[in-house]
Structure 1
Amino acid sequence: MKAYVARRYGGPNVLSLEDVAKPEPASHEVLVRIVASSVNSGDVRVRGFDIPKGMRTMARLALGWSGPRQPIMGTEFSGVVEAVGAEVSRFQVGDRVFGFPGGKMGAHAEFIAMPANGRIAKLPAGLSFEQGAALCFGGSTALHFLRQAKLRPGESILIIGATGTVGHALAQLAQHRGARVSAVTSTGNVELLSERKFDRVIDYKTTPLASLNLGFDIIADCADALDFKSAQRLLKPKGRYLSVAGTLKEMLAALVPGPHGTKMIAGPAAERVEDISLLAELAEKGHFAPLIDTIIPFPQLPDAHARAQSKQKRGTVVVLHQ
């Protein structure tokens, strides 16, 4: 089968289209013919070895020393079941599905094998393959941080970077849970977010964060715009600061409580099996719709990587395989 591989770390130019072995599904697995996948910040960081200082030795041991140990990127996909293992009853050949290999990656290829009881679910009838390929990375990350923050109905949440993949998911899912959402973005994205009917849309170019005089129960920083110290002025007592883009520094700092009972939450998001079915249900009921920046054909996947690491994208870059 055809797959894009990265044999060394570097820019989008290190990706090459190669013939690799087509996976054979084990007895408990399904083989999926991929129709669409995404390129997100996880793919960009691994491909470029964009790892914060203090974590690079650990990252090389985990990811690969001189190049990615898993050379095929791609953390999420949608497609059609091509074959099922002998023990599989949950899926049938021809089912439309979406899935989240997450850190195991492997979705920038023609086929992928997934455990039938793993992070894979049937694609709701009303969703396109392109939407299905953009559900999991932002959605599962948002669910993780909302759980960690213990968001309650009626609480106020400030979301910085609300047109990013994770930020947009956070805004919708927090709103669905009854929060009062203030979404921060740039001038060009104000109209887009205003259409989503959030409680407040803030243009940081005309209303700097430092000028806000509101207190928030939660701040979700998806753009690395603040730190825990500077967030204190905007947090209520016992408020929570979600360092979604945090590094090792933030993870270590999160171990120490802040003043007035405030708390910082940082670290990688859990990849839970049950979240995939939950995201399907939320999307089917209209509570969550991924924001798609652009759709790029599979032969141009390096361009999708370039777009994903740019500062101009809104939401998820989707790759159409066929």
Structure 2
Amino acid sequence: MKAFVLRSYGSPDALQLTEIDKPVPAAGEVLVRVRATSVQPYDWHLMRGEPYIARLMGGGPGLFGPKIRILGADIAGQVEAVGRDVTEFRPGDEVYGMPKQGGFAEYACVPAGELVPKPKNLSFDQAAAVPMAAGTALLGLRDDGRIQPGQDVLVNGASGGVGTFAVQLAKAFGARVTAVCGTRNVELVRSLGADEVVDYTAEDFTRRGRRYDLLLDCAGSHPASAYRRALAPKGALVIVGGPGGRWLQPMGRIISALAASPFVSQRTALTDVVRCTENKRNLTTLAELIEDGRLTPVIDRSYPFEEIPEAIVYQEQGHATGKVVITV
């Protein structure tokens, strides 16, 4: 099969399109013919081995070289074969999931627990846009943010991959949603259900005098102290992303926010979907919302498989509206 293999840290040019053996599913695994995948910050952080401090961590990308050789955290495709003890899938089943690696290839072996049936009303490209971004938004709002009906919720970075899902999910949970984005995406974000849209090029939402019960930060555009100005006294700040850096960021900003949280009345949480142990349940929840028409992926661009490096270059620029997907 063809796969983009990462042999050393570097730019997208470090990804080499290579012919390798098709994997064989072990016990509890499913061999998936990948029909679509997506690119996201998780992939290029692993590709570059940044921030460098992450290389020192047990679950990090690897100290001297990449642990994960085939990137691609999201997949959508068809079951090709199943390993021993797998009973819930059969060859030909259409599935989607978040194996966290292996999507940048024509076939991938995925633990059965990381897959669920693909939503019937989505194409493979659309389904591949969902798992990591929508899963992050779901965990950030429901689990870490403890969202409740009737709350005032602000989504900062509402036009990105996580943000476009977060706006829709917050509405599905019964919240009043204020979305922050740039000028060109105001109408799109409003169409996703936002009750109010703030154009960050014209107004600083942290200085409007409005207070929110929950602030989901997907952009990292302000320090935590500024976010707290926009929070109710018992509000919650949930950090799910932000601009990167070679050495420490965004971890430095996150650590600073968490360190201050014991000394303020507002709660601070960090959402890390990669370490979630209930992806199957969450993917099923997302599929139900999608099939009910309450959640729809927003796709900025679609690239052919051979142009994965170009897709990563575009995604790294940080201007994508919604998701960037790959047709395999």
Pick the TM interval, shorter chain: over 0.9
- Identify the residue that residue 309 of structure 1 maps to in structure 2: 316
- Identify the residue that residue 186 of structure 2 maps to in structure 1: 190
Higher mean C-alpha displacement, 260-269 vs 170-179:
260-269
- Backbone CA RMSD of aligned residues: 1.8
Q: Which one of the candidate residues 114, 118, 139 is aligned to 1:123?
A: 118
| 1:251–1:265 CA contact under 8 A, matched in 2 | no
Give the letter for the 1:157 counterpart. V
| 1:238–1:260 CA contact under 8 A, matched in 2 | no
- Identify the residue that residue 79 of structure 2 maps to in structure 1: 81
| 1:4–1:109 CA contact under 8 A, matched in 2 | yes
Distance 1:283 1:236 in 2: 31
- 1:150-172 Cα offsets, whole Å, 9 max, x none, are 11111111111101111111111
Distance 1:243 1:38 in 2: 22
- Identify the residue that residue 212 of structure 2 maps to in structure 1: 216
1:67-216 to structure 2, matched below 5 A, reads 67-102=65-100, 105-116=101-112, 118-146=113-141, 147-216=143-212
| 2:55–2:61 CA contact under 8 A, matched in 1 | no
SS in 1 for 2:42: helix
Deviation at 1:39, TM superposition (A): 0.5
Distance 1:283 1:310 in 2: 28
- 1:210-236 Cα offsets, whole Å, 9 max, x none, are 441211111111110122211121111
- Identify the residue that residue 227 of structure 2 maps to in structure 1: 231
Distance 2:146 2:327 in 1: 36
SS in 2 for 1:109: coil
- Identify the residue that residue 265 of structure 1 maps to in structure 2: 269
| 1:217–1:235 CA contact under 8 A, matched in 2 | yes
- Identify the residue that residue 291 of structure 1 maps to in structure 2: 298
Deviation at 1:57, TM superposition (A): 4.3
Distance 2:251 2:149 in 1: 29
Deviation at 1:58, TM superposition (A): 1.4
- Identify the residue that residue 258 of structure 2 maps to in structure 1: 254
Give the letter for the 2:321 counterpart. R
- Equivalences, count: 316
Deviation at 1:319, TM superposition (A): 0.5
Higher mean C-alpha displacement, 11-20 vs 249-258:
249-258
Distance 1:95 1:166 in 2: 27
Is residue 2:326 matched to residue 1:319? yes
Deviation at 1:267, TM superposition (A): 5.0
Deviation at 1:255, TM superposition (A): 5.0
| 1:251–1:267 CA contact under 8 A, matched in 2 | no
| 2:144–2:270 CA contact under 8 A, matched in 1 | no
Distance 2:43 2:87 in 1: 32
Give the letter for the 1:3 counterpart. A
Give the letter for the 1:296 counterpart. Y
Give the letter for the 1:26 counterpart. A
- 1:128-170 Cα offsets, whole Å, 9 max, x none, are 0011101111111111111111111111111111011111111
Deviation at 1:280, TM superposition (A): 1.1
- Identify the residue that residue 40 of structure 2 maps to in structure 1: 40
TM-score for the superposition, normalised by structure 2: 0.91
| 2:206–2:227 CA contact under 8 A, matched in 1 | no
Deviation at 1:248, TM superposition (A): 4.7
Distance 2:268 2:44 in 1: 26
Deviation at 1:67, TM superposition (A): 2.4
Change (3 A) 1:28 1:197: closer
Give the letter for the 2:61 counterpart. L
Change (3 A) 1:26 1:11: same
